[in-house]
Amino acid sequence: MEMSIIVRTTTRFLAPLMLLFGVYIILTGHLNPGGGFQGGVILGSVLLLFYLAFGLREGRFSENVASLIEDVSALLLVVVGLLGMLLGKAFFSTFLENSFSGIFGAGVVPVINTLIGLKVGTAFVVLFYTFFKYMRREP
């Protein structure tokens, strides 16, 4: 079933704004309410919106790519946590210099938020791929 021209046009208009908002939520999670989980869900929702409006097409963001990004971001999250321990501090402790202020003064927290955002966003996509397979239909 093909979506109407209104849904497709609205999707083309809203998707870049939603992507920008998701990245903003991830990057300013240490300063404002939000963070990796909330921003990741917004980013995953953008891809889901594209699937619902335009359907799955070959050569787009596949389940294998999403699963690979999810796995790599989880591995990098553990590596960032272990780096604190290797430098003589606690797991996930800040090992970057906190000499800056504002968005750059949070040490390792923006890195952790970004990795969590990637993990949650791609997990959201993989989850819906699984639902669509289970229902034996493609959006």
Q: Is residue 43 part of a domain?
A: yes
pLDDT of residue 20: 94
**Cβ atoms within 10 Å, residue 29:** 23
What's the whole-model pTM score?
A: 0.79
Q: Is residue 82 part of a domain?
A: yes
Give the count of alpha carbons within 13 A of 98, CB side only.
8
Residue 76 has pLDDT above 90, yes or no: yes
Name the domain count of the chain. 1
- pLDDT tens per residue, range 38-55: 999 999 898 888 888 887
7 against 60, higher pLDDT: 7
Q: Is residue 41 part of a domain?
A: yes
Instruction: Identify whether the C-beta of residue 39 lies closer than 8 Å to the C-beta of residue 25.
Output: yes
pLDDT of residue 97: 64
32 against 24, higher pLDDT: 24
What average pLDDT is seen over the chain? 81
Residue 1 — pLDDT band, cuts 50, 70, 90?
low
Residue 58 has pLDDT above 50, yes or no: no
Q: Is residue 45 part of a domain?
A: yes
Q: Is residue 139 part of a domain?
A: no
Domain that holds residue 82: 5-134
User: What's 3's DSSP letter?
Assistant: P
